[in-house]
A = this chain, B = another copy of it.
Amino acid sequence: MPKELNVPSRTLMTPGPVEAHPNVLKAMGSSILGQFDPNFLEIMDEVKEMIKKPFGTKNEQAFAVDGTSRSALEAALIALIDPGDKVLIPAFGRFAYLLGEICERAQAEVKFLEKDWESTFDQNDIIESIKDFQPKIVAMIHGETANGQMQALDKIGAYCQRNHIFLMVDMVATYGGVPIKVDDWGIDVAVAGTQKCVSVPSGMALITYNQRVKDVLDARYQKELGLGDDERSDDPIVSNYLDLSQLQRYWGKERINHHTEATSMVYALHEGLRVILNEGLNNVYVRHDKNNRALVAGIYAMGLEIYGEPTSKMPTVTPVKIPADIDGEKVRELLLNQFGVEIASSFGDLKGKIWRIGNMGYSSRHENVLHVLASLEGALSYYGANINKGEAIKAALDIYNKE
């Protein structure tokens, strides 16, 4: 028989999951409410409104999906796709291919616009590709967790809106960490997660979409058998669980019975969002930016290199090139087992070549930045890497003390 759970403390400096905020953990200890208890419905309504703020949207529709981030990516894509529909996916990293995987399984005709992973696209190149391929949907990533690059989006959305193309954007790794303007950028549907800058455990996803998407959903709505057979659709969404047309009626005034909402995760999300809104979103972005600059200064001062184009680097992820002759996994193990500090490896071609240091949510703290720099320097020294010693902390403190 397993023993009672006994979880060690970690300094989580990965690009998710990050440390949950203490108020979030406290909220999760609250007792359970029934899913239609008026007190719970009020909490859901408050969550809906708070979700909109970091997205920078006044959309009517904003709610949570009971699954990890990718559940809402899939929900968003299958809401819009009919078999044979054309989807253009500009790819500058691993997670663009996840979008493609989802679309291919939904029988879309997928075209990847590919480039190396070291920088993002010139938006005009994407617009040219849209003109050429004439997709129904453009699906893309805002911040690529896998390689730390962040795509500018302000022109693409405007073009899509003018040309009646749907733009779906994965903002999982940027939501709550950098300014996002879903409405101003002309994004039709945007998705985020809980386990990154919202400082909530993994297991829930956030979504918002505009009237254009809602119109599609309303046309495809099919009432679930068991609740009645009086509202059937010719073109229902292929998944019942990830059917946004039902989810919006569960989170909305109709309160149709769909799943039983994940009570404690809603509590957690309520507090995670409330904490950052109380801090003030602009203050939150300034904090992430400053911690990013301190981290980057420390990494450079140590003599290490950062992967990719600096001007488009995400503030929330720093990809560090693993020095030659150093086993990246051994360094990660030493950090985890001896310092209790976790940093991440990467995927595909970048596996073994970069570490990824996160700077997200409650983990984005002054002391965590110093802790990860000090322990990384210690681990690299231990394994005999040729680095500048004693410089990283000085460089980071210069940023903190100067401002």
A residues with a Cβ closer than 8 A to B are 1-2, 4-5, 7-10, 12, 14, 16-20, 23, 25-35, 37, 39, 43, 46, 49-50, 66-71, 74, 94-98, 100-102, 104-106, 146, 193, 195, 201-204, 224-228, 236-242, 257, 259-265, 267-268, 270-271, 274, 277-278, 336, 342, 344, 347-348
**Interface pair B71/A201, CB less than 8 Å apart:** no
Given A32-B201, A226-B94, A262-B203, A240 contacting B101 (CB threshold 8 A): yes
User: A402 → chain B, closest Cβ, in Å?
Assistant: 32
**Interface pair B342/A34, CB less than 8 Å apart:** yes
**Interface pair B34/A7, CB less than 8 Å apart:** no
**Interface pair A265/B101, CB less than 8 Å apart:** no
**Interface pair B98/A224, CB less than 8 Å apart:** yes
**Interface pair B7/A226, CB less than 8 Å apart:** no
Which chain B residue shows the least CB distance to A262? B203
Most chain B CB atoms below 10 A, which of A43, A68, A74, A226: A226
Which chain B residue shows the least CB distance to A8? B39
**Interface pair A28/B28, CB less than 8 Å apart:** yes
User: A358 → chain B, closest Cβ, in Å?
Assistant: 10
Name the one of B66, B204, B224 contacting A101, with C-beta atoms under 8 angstroms.
B224
Name the one of B12, B32, B203 contacting A264, with C-beta atoms under 8 angstroms.
B203
Given A5-B271, A224-B98, A68 contacting B10 (CB threshold 8 A): no
Give how many copies assemble into the complex: 2
Given A12-B34, A105-B238, A347-B226, A265 contacting B19 (CB threshold 8 A): no
The CA of A68 and the CA of B30, in the complex, are separated in Å by 19
**Interface pair B265/A265, CB less than 8 Å apart:** yes
Known: A32-B201, A35-B202, A195-B263. 15 other contacts (CB 8 A): A7-B31, A8-B31, A68-B260, A74-B241, A100-B225, A101-B225, A102-B240, A102-B241, A146-B226, A201-B264, A202-B260, A203-B204, A227-B348, A239-B239, A264-B264
Given A33-B7, A226-B96, A2 contacting B50 (CB threshold 8 A): yes
**Interface pair B31/A105, CB less than 8 Å apart:** no
The CA of A392 and the CA of B24, in the complex, are separated in Å by 42
**Interface pair B2/A262, CB less than 8 Å apart:** no
